[in-house]
Amino acid sequence: MKLKLVFLPYCHVDPNTRDKFCLEMTFPPLGIATLTGFLRNRGFHVDQDDLDRKVLHNNWKFEDSEKLEKLIRMECFFDGKRLNREDKEEAREKEAEKILKLTKWKGFDIIGFSIPSVDNPSVINVAVTLAKLLKERYDVTIIAGGVMGDSSMKELLKKKYIDCIILS
């Protein structure tokens, strides 16, 4: 069995004030690193990736260049109140496609999402949008894990793209 564990990216803003924390350094995703080591010691093939770091690095790299179309606009996952439903989903899927290009997805039996923080609404939107695209493209089992409450779990499971949730 081949597993892919990813720490999901999110829009680095304060959900209360909506001030950006551009390129902030966060604590490394030790939860998936521990799980990766545990599973590898038991003979599983596990690939691990930190998509939050990759998105931040990508945006840092292209921020002052002529290639602005390569920027991944994480804010579209955070606030979509100004857009109608179809425009919101289209904008999120366009940015999610850029995120998908940052790592390998093909050939895995299970993809596990590490949910970094449910305090920030972009986290749920990123997870659901990536899960939708991965399901359509690879028909893979998707599991989400992390510290979350009932409302977050319901939101993640509502669209039926995420197959299972593991708490903590």
pLDDT tens-digit map of 58-74:
988 887 777 788 899 99
Q: What ranges make up the beta strands (E) of the chain?
A: 2-7, 45-50, 110-114, 141-146, 164-167
Per-residue pLDDT, 128: 94
Per-residue pLDDT, 17: 67
Q: Is 111:4 a contact under the CB 8 Å cutoff?
A: yes
Per-residue pLDDT, 68: 82
Q: Is the pLDDT of residue 18 over 70?
A: no
| Both tokens assigned to 15 | 């959900």
Q: Is 49:7 a contact under the CB 8 Å cutoff?
A: yes
Per-residue pLDDT, 25: 56
Task: Give the other-Cβ count within 10 Å of 150's Cβ.
Answer: 7
User: What is the band of 81 on the pLDDT scale with cuts at 50, 70, 90?
Assistant: low
CA dist., res. 81 & res. 66, Å (int): 29
SS3 9: coil
User: In this predicted model, what pLDDT tens digit does every residue of 44-62 receive, in sequence order?
Assistant: 999 999 999 999 889 888 8
Mean pLDDT, residues 11-39: 74
Per-residue pLDDT, 127: 94
User: In this predicted model, what pLDDT tens digit does every residue of 89-113 receive, in sequence order?
Assistant: 899 999 999 999 999 999 999 999 9
Q: Is the pLDDT of residue 117 over 80?
A: no
Per-residue pLDDT, 15: 60
CA dist., res. 134 & res. 11, Å (int): 20
Q: Is the pLDDT of residue 7 over 90?
A: yes
